[in-house]
């Protein structure tokens, strides 16, 4: 069996995603050159893959040849754990990580070595061991399979390795060397149990508190984990059925998990369900059947990890979630490459195929489609073949996408043809998508389920956003459900706006610029309930006062849950929580506070005050006092307080006939001329429409009184806000 998952950065090119079962096991993408392979050179200190949680591509295999592992390494991965599964024929179990980023290391692996050959390769390569597997070659001879990494420069560590030891001898060596174990292996040579061990100096950055357990029951190992709070770092299944383990205190307490007694399919499922990667795989037999013990470490970013935990706390089904900016980064991805039964969410594919035919001119939105309105049996959700009427394509699509009408969906499937709809999926790059049955028919769904992945749905929406439908893009979205209540997004906006103290007007304006086009799905089948939802979301960001919208593809699924209501809640929760950081970031750009702050000096007793603030949808009054009674006055409004018509500001006005100490403090792109009253006062009012395009605009105001000499007021710096 073998499995390999690509680094997330490669998925859009490879078209595959997170765990699924393949013909012989899990997935494959496999890099190697020989039984001993040098991988890429390390350019920085290499961390321990059993402690690093940076998301990366990974692989796990069991019962495979060295050639299979070499192929995997040749495709950009490196071994981090290897076990000898059988001697005749020689087969291996292994864990791998993508040989890039923080996992990039110069490494080698070998098998069939004597102890002398291990020492020779360590010396030749200037390397240290990270994994050592001892085994009987079938003739009573001790042989070794091993992994070693460069031990030069910043990667140098003091290390030791031993074999043929008893547990008491291992404990003594650890104490004598002031070391901690990084690998323990139990093996039998001539029916005698012995241990091999790799240890490093337990000091400096490598210091960890640890516990070593030998030949214990699983219950004892589990109790030790609970009692010490330490993580199982290395686990070994002994020939007599007992276990040996290394437990450590982690730096940063990474999210981890461990499982014992599960089959290969369950390993694959759990890795995807928890967004983890394997760091140690042990294979053994129970009543003639292969079982696994697996240590897992988090392989997801913080957003994915948090959303995944919330989903699993809400439902007992398999979960998946996905958030990607159109033509941009992936922000969350759990089981996004896993095939699931989408129920009515599959109708998005019907919809895009029909709209593509509109774009190509093969049909129009006014084309009449035959619709059989009845259900078989009556009262079910399964479309029948009676109740014939004719309806326009636009009516059929709206009923299919907004009301999730199954008879209209079947009309689209029948009119355009299932093979043609699947051809559109292939054209869009949706390599793990296939339509197989009429939606709404439980028996058909159980016997022949439709396939789709969150990743494929993201591709669909990306292609539409990028012009797959040409000028019909907006029609495609508008035929879908356009409510901001989908996934609780409106509620999230309200919650985040409240923490930012945004005004009601700001929230209303923000929501008016948001856009959602979504489709959900729901099935109750013999093996449980299925819930899903996927959509296109446009989020309004402001850059100064310019709208800079960001587009996202987002969705989630729950499969085989015992409680459909909880499944729906988990899907909605995932959509809301994945988008929450983006919505908050966008709202922060709308958090523009109205400002009117005085600056500079005045002359001749002039003053400028303001009543109100420059807010969208509101009025503000600028008052002048101390001017010349019954004389002309001017309110200058400008957009600079440093330059005006090539002159530097402030500009002394005495040279232009003003009183001493008078200055022009702002530019004058606009002026408002009036006449002061008998007290030398004047008021100028300004009104602002409720248009986000004005948000954040900065302008300056200053009054001048034009009497026998010019007098000037202080200026105001103004910002249009909420």
DSSP label at residue 479: T
Same domain, 550 and 466: yes
In angstroms, rounded to a whole number, what is the distance separating the alpha carbons of residues 436 and 453? 15
Residues whose CB falls within 8 Å of the CB of residue 230, separated by 6 or more in sequence, listed in order: 209, 210, 211, 224, 247, 248, 249, 250
Residue 235: inside a domain, yes or no? no
Same domain membership, residue 611 and residue 579: no
Contact criterion met (CB below 8 Å) for 700 and 519: no
How far apart (Å, rounded) are the C-alpha atoms in residues 536 and 516?
6
Read off the pLDDT band of 4 (50, 70, 90).
low
Calpha distance 276→55 (Å, rounded): 9
d(CA 304, CA 308): 6
pLDDT for res 3: 57
The reported pLDDT for the residue numbered 608 is 97
Report the relative pairing of strands 210-216 and 243-248 from DSSP bridges: antiparallel
**Are residues 392 and 369 in contact, defined by beta-carbon separation less than 8 angstroms?**
yes
Q: Kindly state whether residues 624 and 531 are assigned to the same domain.
A: no
The domain that contains 485 carries what CATH number?
3.40.710.10
Dihedral of CA atoms 648, 654, 657, 663 in degrees, nearest 10, equals: 50
Residue 239 belongs to some domain of the structure = no
**Confidence at residue 38, expressed as pLDDT on a 0 to 100 scale:** 31
- Helices (H), ranges, 360-404: 393-402
Residue 328: Cβ within 10 Å count: 11
Q: Is residue 216 assigned to a domain?
A: no
For residue 370, being part of any structural domain is answered with: yes
**413 to each of 370, 422, 434, how far by Cα in Å?**
11, 10, 13
In the prediction, which pLDDT does 504 show?
87
**Single residue among 133, 156, 179 that ends a domain in this structure:** 156
Q: Note the pLDDT tens digit of each residue in 43-60.
A: 356 789 999 999 999 999
Q: Indicate if 570 and 630 belong to the same structural domain.
A: no
pLDDT exceeds cutoff 80 at 215: yes
**Count of positions (residues) in the chain:** 722
Q: Please report the pLDDT score of residue 679 as a whole number.
A: 96
443-463: average pLDDT: 97
Q: For residue range 274-331, list pLDDT tens digits in order.
A: 999 999 999 999 999 999 999 999 999 999 999 999 999 999 999 999 999 999 999 9
Q: What percentage of residues in the chain have a pLDDT greater than 70?
A: 94
- Whether 671 and 558 share a structural domain: no
**How many helices (H) does the chain have, and how many strands (E)?**
17, 35
Residues 668 and 529 in one domain: no
- What pLDDT, in 10s, does the model give residues 492-520? 999 999 999 998 888 988 999 999 999 99
Q: What's the pLDDT at 6?
A: 52
Average pLDDT over every residue of 458-471: 98
In this structure, the answer to whether residues 583 and 650 fall within a common structural domain is: no
CB 480 within 8 A of CB 517: yes
CA distances from 306 to 87, 251, 311, 543, 673 (A): 43, 20, 9, 29, 60
CA 258: distance to chain centroid?
24
Crossing angle between the packed helical segments 264-274 and 302-314, to the nearest 10 degrees: 110
Domains in the chain, number: 3
CA–CA separation, 529 vs 557, rounded Å? 11
In a domain, residue 674? The reply is yes
> In the predicted model, what is the mean pLDDT of the chain?
91
Q: How far apart are CA 399 and CA 389, in angstroms?
A: 14
122 part of a folded domain: yes
CA distance 229 to 396: 59
CATH code (residue 680):
2.60.40.1930
Beta-carbon contacts of 568 under 8 Å, excluding residues fewer than 6 positions away, are: 522, 531, 558
Q: Give the phi and the psi of residue 442 in degrees, each rounded to 5.
A: -60, -40
Banded pLDDT at 248 (limits 50, 70, 90): very high
**Cα separations in angstroms, 676 against 249, 636, 703, 707:** 79, 15, 11, 10
Of the candidates 599, 579, 559, the residue with the CA atom closest to the CA atom of residue 701: 599
Residue with tokens 């009025």: 619
pTM of the model: 0.86
pLDDT tens, residue by residue, 93-146: 999 999 999 999 999 999 999 999 999 999 999 999 999 999 998 888 999 999
Strands of the sheet containing 318-325, edge to edge, are 330-334, 318-325, 546-561, 528-543, 515-525
C-alpha to C-alpha distances, 599 to 317, 650, 665, 666, nearest whole angstrom: 63, 11, 9, 10
- pLDDT given at position 43: 39
Same-domain pairing of 612 and 527: no
Distance CA 590, CA 97 (A): 42
Domain end position, chosen among 589, 610, 631 = 589
Q: Which domain holds residue 604?
A: 595-719
pLDDT at 1: 53
Least confident of 22-36, 119-133, 384-398, 672-686: 22-36
Using one digit for the tens of pLDDT, what is the confidence trace for 599-656? 999 999 999 999 999 999 899 999 999 999 999 999 999 999 999 999 999 999 998 8
Same domain? For 656 and 576 the reply is no
Q: What band does 691 get if pLDDT is binned at 50, 70 and 90? A: confident
Looking at 561, 589, 617, which one is the last position of a domain?
589
Residue 538 and residue 448 share a domain? yes
3-state secondary structure string, 40-92?
A: CCCCCCCCCCCCCCCCCCEEEEEEECHHHHHHHHHCCEEEEEEEEEECCCCEE
User: For the chain, first and last CA: distance in Å?
Assistant: 62
pLDDT of 21 strictly over 80: no
Same domain assignment for residues 612 and 516: no
Q: What does the pLDDT read at residue 233?
A: 97
Q: Are strands 256-262 and 231-237 parallel, antiparallel or unpaired?
A: unpaired
Asked if the structure places residue 662 within a domain, the reply is: yes
What are 658's two structure tokens?
């003003």
Contact 654, 660 (CB under 8 A): yes
β-sheet bridge partners, residue 148 = 108, 129
Q: Tell me, yes or no, whether 251 lies in a domain.
A: no
Whether cis (ω within 30° of 0) applies to the bond prior to 26 is: no
Specify the DSSP element, H or E, that contains 333: strand 330-334
Residues 646 and 505 in one domain: no
Q: In the structure encoding, which two tokens stand for residue 34, read together?
A: 């020989």
Cβ(453)–Cβ(340) below 8 Å: yes
Structure tokens at 633: 């006055």
Question: Which string of b and e fits 397-428 if b means at least 16 CB within 10 Å?
Answer: bbbbbeebbbbbbbbbbbbbeeeebbebbeeb
Contacts 24+ apart (CB under 8 A), 523-526: 523/341, 523/343, 523/442, 523/445, 524/442, 524/564, 525/341, 525/442, 525/445, 525/446, 526/442, 526/446
256-262 sheet: strands from edge to edge? 256-262, 289-298, 276-286
For 674-695, what is the HEC assignment? EECCCCCCEEEEEECCCCHHHC
């Amino acid at each position: 069996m073998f499995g390999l998952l690509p680094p997330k950065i490669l998925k859009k090119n490879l078209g595959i995603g997170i765990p699924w079962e393949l013909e012989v096991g899990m997935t494959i993408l496999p890099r190697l050159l020989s039984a001993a392979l040098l991988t890429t050179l390390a350019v920085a200190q290499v961390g321990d893959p059993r402690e690093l949680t940076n998301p990366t591509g990974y692989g796990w295999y069991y019962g495979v040849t060295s050639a299979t592992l070499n192929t995997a390494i040749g495709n950009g991965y490196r071994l981090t754990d290897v076990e000898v599964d059988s001697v005749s024929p020689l087969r291996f179990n292994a864990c791998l990580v993508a040989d890039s980023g923080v996992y990039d290391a110069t490494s080698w692996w070998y098998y069939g070595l004597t102890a002398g050959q291990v020492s020779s390769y360590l010396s030749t390569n200037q390397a240290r061991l990270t994994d050592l597997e001892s085994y009987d070659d079938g003739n009573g001879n001790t042989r070794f399979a091993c992994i070693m990494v460069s031990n030069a420069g910043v990667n140098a560590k003091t290390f030791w390795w031993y074999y043929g030891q008893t547990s008491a001898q291992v404990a003594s060596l650890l104490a004598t060397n002031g070391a901690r174990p990084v690998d323990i292996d139990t093996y039998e040579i001539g029916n005698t149990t012995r241990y091999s061990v790799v240890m490093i100096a337990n000091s400096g950055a490598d210091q960890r508190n640890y516990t070593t357990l030998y030949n214990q029951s699983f219950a004892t190992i589990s109790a030790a984990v609970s009692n010490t709070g330490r993580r199982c770092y290395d686990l070994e299944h002994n020939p007599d059925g007992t276990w040996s383990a290394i437990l450590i205190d982690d730096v940063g307490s990474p999210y981890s998990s461990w499982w014992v007694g599960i089959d290969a399919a369950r390993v694959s499922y759990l890795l995807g369900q928890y967004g983890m990667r394997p760091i140690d795989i042990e294979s053994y037999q129970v009543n003639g059947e292969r079982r696994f013990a697996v240590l897992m470490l988090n392989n997801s970013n913080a957003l994915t990890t948090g959303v995944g935990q919330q989903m699993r706390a809400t439902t007992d089904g398999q979960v998946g979630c996905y958030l990607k900016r159109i033509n941009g980064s992936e922000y969350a991805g759990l089981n996004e490459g896993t095939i699931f039964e989408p129920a009515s969410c599959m109708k998005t594919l019907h919809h895009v195929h029909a709209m593509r035919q509109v774009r190509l001119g093969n049909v129009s939105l006014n084309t009449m489609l035959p619709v059989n309105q009845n259900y078989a049996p009556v009262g079910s959700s399964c479309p029948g073949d009676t109740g014939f009427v004719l309806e326009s394509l636009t009516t059929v699509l709206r009923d299919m996408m907004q009301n999730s009408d199954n008879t209209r969906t079947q009309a689209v499937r029948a009119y355009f043809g299932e093979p043609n709809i699947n051809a559109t999926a292939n054209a869009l790059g949706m390599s793990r998508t296939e339509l197989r049955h009429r939606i709404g028919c439980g028996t058909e769904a159980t016997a022949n389920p439709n396939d789709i992945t969150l990743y494929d749905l993201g591709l669909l929406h990306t292609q539409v956003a990028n012009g797959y439908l040409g000028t019909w893009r907006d029609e495609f979205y508008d035929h879908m459900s356009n409510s901001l209540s989908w996934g609780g997004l409106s509620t999230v906006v309200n919650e985040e706006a409240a923490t930012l103290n945004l005004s009601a007007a700001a929230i209303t304006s923000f929501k008016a610029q948001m856009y959602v086009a979504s489709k959900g799905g729901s099935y109750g089948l013999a093996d449980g309930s299925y819930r899903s939802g996927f959509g296109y979301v446009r989020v309004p960001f402001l850059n100064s006062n310019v709208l800079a919208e960001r587009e996202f593809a987002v969705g989630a699924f729950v499969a085989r849950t015992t409680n459909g209501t909880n499944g729906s809640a988990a899907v909605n929760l995932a959509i809301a929580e994945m988008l929450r950081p983006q919505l908050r970031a966008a709202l922060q750009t709308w958090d523009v506070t109205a400002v009117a702050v005085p600056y500079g000096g005045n002359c001749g007793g002039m003053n400028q005050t303001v009543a109100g603030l420059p807010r969208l949808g509101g009025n503000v009054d600028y008052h002048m006092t101390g001017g010349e009674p019954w004389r002309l006055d001017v309110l200058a409004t400008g957009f600079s307080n440093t330059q005006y018509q090539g002159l530097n500001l402030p500009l002394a006005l005495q040279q232009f006939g003003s009183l001493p100490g008078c200055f022009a403090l702002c530019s004058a792109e606009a002026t408002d001329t009036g006449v002061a009253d008998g007290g030398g006062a004047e008021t100028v009012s300004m009104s602002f429409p409720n248009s986000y395009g004005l948000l954040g605009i900065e302008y300056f105001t200053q009054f001048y009184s034009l009497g026998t000499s010019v007098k000037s007021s202080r200026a105001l710096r103004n910002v249009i806000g909420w």
